[in-house]
Amino acid sequence: MLILGIETSCDETSLAIVGDGKKVYFNELISQISKHAIFGGVVPEIAAREHYKSLFVLLELLEKNSNIKIKDVDAIAVSTEPGLIGSLLLGLTFAKTLCMIYNKPLIAVNHLYAHLAAANIECNLEYPYLGVLVSGGHTVFFEVKDEITYMVLGKTYDDAAGECFDKIAKMLKLGYPGGPLIDRMVKEATSKNKININFNWRNKWGNNVSFSGLKTSILYYINGQNLQKPRELSQSEIIDIAYTSQEIITDIILDKIVNFVKKYDFKNIVVAGGVASNSVLREKVRNLEDGKRKVFLPSPKYCVDNGAMVAILGGFYAKKNIFSPLDSECRSVFC
């Protein structure tokens, strides 16, 4: 069974063809980072216009570079929630148009579930598992009972983990998106020290997490009480702040994982989404693996937004004959 996956929920346009639930025949993306970087974050209007251009470029590339034509696929899957509404609408309209032209069934998928489903590409997932979705817009802990059943166990009260990385990087004037920049800078630093900030996170928030307090503590650490007059930071201070922030963000996530594993006795853990490419988080989570517990981490190219993850999840629905009506709609929020 061949599934076309379409991803346009935020600032990456991607198309993919996945066969038999696993084999990736095509998975290309066009990133919009350079278009948004000058604004320090994603501009929704620009994102939608870029998807409009990139979808057609990718479709041409797909038909040229893979031996597969859209007429040969069995179904067309597309992310329809959550995300930027204009961007989601572009992807859904594109998907519906292809469905009508080629008489294919449509499969509307949840972008967050798709991130977790990406872990199936490189390994054989065992169910149930603790699904940890850490991205730029969301941080959610799921119990994933089977390929299509996702139950929320906890989530962030405010900022997502990736958003916290991005906002702290912005305060440090590192650029956008901040997560990979902080990760690389800290890895390359020969000397790094923990800074003392006023932020307590241990034994808080029950099943949920919160990152906005960390962001505020860093802001006050940099500027003192005088927020009107930002302080110039030395390079070593920038490294120390980035290092400390990365340690705290990854420890908050790790601590929740450990609690969930204890509470529900999960034997399998999947960590996915953009922040799952963070090298420190990957190492900390891998250390949880033992004779009793397995950890599954998609490789970084399947952690960022990509069409393959949408096609994989679409394939799970198609296998069960679950399709979506052609008047399906998009939703910006996850509830």
Which of these segments, 131-139, 217-225, 228-236, 316-324, binds ligand KG4 (CB under 6 A)?
Answer: 131-139
Answer yes or no whether residue 8 interacts with Zn ion by CB under 5 A: no
Answer yes or no whether residue 183 interacts with ligand KG4 by CB under 6 A: yes
Residue with tokens 């990760």: 183
Answer yes or no whether residue 135 interacts with Zn ion by CB under 5 A: yes
Answer yes or no whether residue 307 interacts with ligand KG4 by CB under 6 A: no
| 317 sits in which H/E element | helix 307-319
- At residue 51, the 3 state secondary structure works out as helix
Answer yes or no whether residue 162 interacts with ligand KG4 by CB under 6 A: yes
Q: Contact with ligand KG4 (CB under 6 A): which of 5, 105, 179, 314?
A: 179
Secondary structure in 3-state letters for 52-104: HHHHHHHHHHHHHHCCCCHHHCCEEEEEEECCCHHHHHHHHHHHHHHHHHHCC
Nearest to ligand KG4 of 105, 307 (CB atom): 307
Token pair for residue 262?
């204890």
- At residue 296, the 3 state secondary structure works out as strand
Dist CA 16 CA 18 (whole Å) = 6
Answer yes or no whether residue 209 interacts with ligand KG4 by CB under 6 A: no
CB of 259 vs Zn ion, minimal distance in Å: 24
Answer yes or no whether residue 274 interacts with ligand KG4 by CB under 6 A: yes
* Gyration radius of the chain's alpha carbons: 20
Answer yes or no whether residue 166 interacts with Zn ion by CB under 5 A: no
Q: Contact with ligand KG4 (CB under 6 A): which of 86, 154, 177, 298?
A: 177
Helix axes 235-264, 212-223, angle to 10 degrees: 160
CB of 118 vs Zn ion, minimal distance in Å: 10
3-state helix, strand, coil in the chain (%, to 5): 45, 20, 35
Nearest to ligand KG4 of 33, 326 (CB atom): 33
Token pair for residue 139?
């941080």
Dist CA 249 CA 306 (whole Å) = 24
Answer yes or no whether residue 178 interacts with ligand KG4 by CB under 6 A: yes
Residue 252 binds: one of ligand KG4, Zn ion, none (C-beta under 5 to 8 A by kind): none
Written as one string, the DSSP assignment of 208-227 is -B--HHHHHHHHHHHHTT-T
Answer yes or no whether residue 277 interacts with ligand KG4 by CB under 6 A: yes
Answer yes or no whether residue 7 interacts with ligand KG4 by CB under 6 A: no
Site string for ligand KG4, 226-265 (x = CB under 6 A): ----------------------------------------
Nearest to Zn ion of 83, 105 (CB atom): 83
Instruction: Tell me the sheet residues that pair with 75.
Output: 3
Which of these segments, 129-137, 204-212, 228-236, 322-330, binds ligand KG4 (CB under 6 A)?
Answer: 129-137
Nearest to ligand KG4 of 29, 130 (CB atom): 29
Helix axes 279-286, 178-188, angle to 10 degrees: 80
Interaction site with Zn ion (CB under 5 A): 135, 305
Interaction site with ligand KG4 (CB under 6 A): 10, 135-137, 162, 165-166, 177-180, 183, 273-275, 277-278, 304-305
